[in-house]
Chain A
């Protein structure tokens, strides 16, 4: 069988913020660079990021510094973060933002003409560079335009199925297919960067788009890399809850950063009742103090509404469970009674538009109904902090698909900066690797043919499982059993159900042509979704404590011993996507004393 073959020095899979930034870096080194994406260019999930890019640029608060940003990030992640990644991130984020501006981004300005920064949950100072509530769009468009001007070859609507390694275990290429035609394609490369984002589409209520199916997590695992922290899934506290068809759609944390507060059905600002010991010293204990903070960060402590996302999501969950929720099973997010309509429309234009169009709610007049929604994977491929290299030689990973940076919980605004900082580092790491390699690896044609054949198999079955029904059942399982609050017995049940789903997935049948066939496209996404879901459930069962984005009803407190380990997943059995996955605890890297001292400073 002949197969279209593309040869490159560096192939970047995924064209969100991290993938674009990695490709730009590789191309700037003069390497032949391909950028492969599942959708059209500029539509990746980064486009939905709203609030901003966290970077200690000190435009609004002189007191800010990379050290404070580092401390906030580590505390937000409940100290499980890879300290080196958190350090590099805090140190390099400002340069990455300035760089975007030099490439044409137009951020909102301060009175003296510099980039304006806004407040966000868990950040001690106003730190987020932003454009209203559409920062992700600004970022992806800027990078997209830079990439096009840099002469990077972009391959759109191409689904990558599997990575290939050669005889000595180095990366050799990747196999996929063109969605518009259904024809297979082989990429042969000296180095590959994974920038495929998250896997929220395995949950029923999620802010994620259809693309977030964990392709990179799964492909890395299958190729021999390790995943860490997969139990930590961030449920963003404020997703829309009504109408049902938009349930899960994101409501930016910027609403609270700009003065919005959470209330229960009784109108009470309940977050004051949910301030964990760790954050008590720096959180306001009266509404008066909390309201004063918006204009006076030095003289008042921050409102509890702006605690890290895991804290707020759990609180909302508890209020709804206690019967104090809103009519559609959320709580109220109120900015209407606190800020002028003009201010709200200027600061939060797309939120205004989104609620007006989709829910018929005027957020300048009424409160929004919100509840937790599956949003972000803290866990991902284990990488070297400086180079983004994975355990597979020649394979690199950056952005949401990489693990470690955010520990057990990510702060808002730290994702866009993560994409830029580690996207660039992965591009550089892959370039170094490619430059040091005289030849591309050898691709085993029989393996390529087998991958293509497996992908086409659903067409050959005259009857079998419906991929849509299977996906929907997977979402039910993950939503109800591996959601925001977990218990051992439910995780056991989830793993049993995932076994059944895996079995069913091997019998999926689809009809119609190969060209742009969404049923088939979904069928080819299922192996990754099922693998990643299994990783989450397995790791969640092992972590017998509550920490960050992982809450166990049967182990409700944090265990200091478990605060010193990552659970590492591997698939030593090799290639089949149904092979068993191993979970093992490993100690987290030891933090140097000077950085530890930063964390111990009392604030």
Chain B
């Protein structure tokens, strides 16, 4: 039996889908077939990949129109007929299936760093239950498919300068919920990172290969915290009087001991 792969070929000046037919092999994933294409019919077909085990998040592509990891998409789980493989649409094309994802790395540079108090002897003390949520967010493999599918930037290049996107929102949420962190980023995410532009359609959650509940567990709580910090009059007054923000180093230290 043969399979037909309809692969996007081109660069930033334009391109087209090209059909390739090759024999099907048992148990293969889309990335295997792309590799066989490179070795036989299209040696210069560009694609990113590294681990081929769903752990590095390099081989994101739009398979039959949906963002997927090529290495974790079994050919025999796709419907019969040609398999369409296209690059992620939200990012500029470099060539074929490879896109310029530097937007995500630039946004990551703007995150104010983790700021814990100094550790006591033998490290910090934190309870498993208090870090569980942060661990969920840290499962992120930076495949950037949540960014790809997010409609705030998918067809609105102009929004990219005001919007960090779901990948970065889980990073902000992780730091916000970290028991030891003392850096307050709530105004930053509200005013500069475009948190308010997300209207919680959950497209990001749907495509996450790590099943991180991006919208429910990160974005919505982050919105609540950011809004509380900005508009809750009692919290506002408390901060004015006590001249403090999220958590003082002394409080964080008490958690970590």
Contact A39 B50 (CB under 8 A): yes
- One digit per residue, 1 when the CB lies within 8 angstroms of any chain A CB and 0 when it does not, for chain B 66-98 equals 000000101000000000000000000011101
- Chain A residues positioned under 8 Å from B27 (CB to CB): 242-246, 358-359
- Chain B residues positioned under 8 Å from A164 (CB to CB): none
Q: What CA separation (Å) do A48 and B55 show in the bound complex?
A: 6
Contact B178 A104 (CB under 8 A): yes
- Say how far A78's CB is from chain B's closest CB, in angstroms: 30
Would you call A101 an interface residue if the criterion is a C-beta within 8 Å of the partner chain's C-beta atoms? yes
Q: What CA separation (Å) do A132 and B25 show in the bound complex?
A: 33
Would you call A108 an interface residue if the criterion is a C-beta within 8 Å of the partner chain's C-beta atoms? yes
Contact B124 A101 (CB under 8 A): yes
- Chain B residues positioned under 8 Å from A513 (CB to CB): 44, 95
**B200-231 CB contacts (< 8 Å) to partner A:** none
Q: What CA separation (Å) do A271 and B174 show in the bound complex?
A: 43
Contact B47 A145 (CB under 8 A): no
Q: What CA separation (Å) do A45 and B46 show in the bound complex?
A: 20
**B123-138 CB contacts (< 8 Å) to partner A:** 123-128, 131, 134-135, 138
Contact B46 A101 (CB under 8 A): no
Contact A41 B113 (CB under 8 A): no
Contact A209 B128 (CB under 8 A): no
Q: What CA separation (Å) do A452 and B116 show in the bound complex?
A: 47
- One digit per residue, 1 when the CB lies within 8 angstroms of any chain B CB and 0 when it does not, for chain A 74-96 equals 00000000000000000000000
From B25, B100, B141, B175, contact of A245 by CB (8 A):
B25
- Chain A residues positioned under 8 Å from B109 (CB to CB): 148
Contact A245 B29 (CB under 8 A): yes
**A101-122 CB contacts (< 8 Å) to partner B:** 101-104, 106, 108-109, 112-115
Contact A512 B44 (CB under 8 A): yes
Interface centre among A113, A141, A211, A350, by most chain B C-beta atoms within 10 angstroms, is A113
From B44, B116, B135, B139, contact of A517 by CB (8 A):
B44
- Chain B residues positioned under 8 Å from A98 (CB to CB): 119, 123
- Chain A residues positioned under 8 Å from B192 (CB to CB): none
Would you call A137 an interface residue if the criterion is a C-beta within 8 Å of the partner chain's C-beta atoms? yes
Contact B125 A245 (CB under 8 A): no
Would you call A215 an interface residue if the criterion is a C-beta within 8 Å of the partner chain's C-beta atoms? no
- Say how far A48's CB is from chain B's closest CB, in angstroms: 5
Contact A109 B127 (CB under 8 A): yes
Contact B56 A48 (CB under 8 A): yes
Contact A510 B25 (CB under 8 A): no
Contact B29 A358 (CB under 8 A): yes
- One digit per residue, 1 when the CB lies within 8 angstroms of any chain A CB and 0 when it does not, for chain B 104-128 equals 0100110101101011001111111
- Say how far B213's CB is from chain A's closest CB, in angstroms: 15
Segment at the interface with B among A185-193, A393-401, A425-433, A464-472: A464-472
Q: Which residues of A contact B (CB under 8 A)?
A: 39-45, 47-48, 57, 59, 97-98, 101-104, 106, 108-109, 112-115, 131-132, 134, 136-138, 141, 145-146, 148-149, 154, 156, 180, 209-211, 242-246, 249-250, 350, 353-354, 357-359, 466-469, 472, 510-513, 515-520
Q: A39-B58, A131-B135, A466-B39 are in contact. List 9 more A-B contacts (CB 8 A).
A: A43-B50, A103-B114, A106-B134, A244-B26, A246-B52, A357-B72, A358-B27, A359-B27, A512-B43
19 sampled A-B residue pairs with Cβ under 8 A: A43-B50, A59-B122, A97-B123, A103-B114, A104-B114, A104-B175, A106-B134, A114-B122, A132-B135, A141-B138, A244-B26, A245-B25, A249-B52, A353-B54, A358-B72, A358-B74, A511-B43, A513-B95, A516-B98
**Which 10 residue pairs are nearest across A and B when measured between Cβ atoms?**
A243-B27, A512-B44, A113-B125, A519-B43, A104-B114, A149-B113, A468-B39, A516-B46, A109-B128, A245-B32
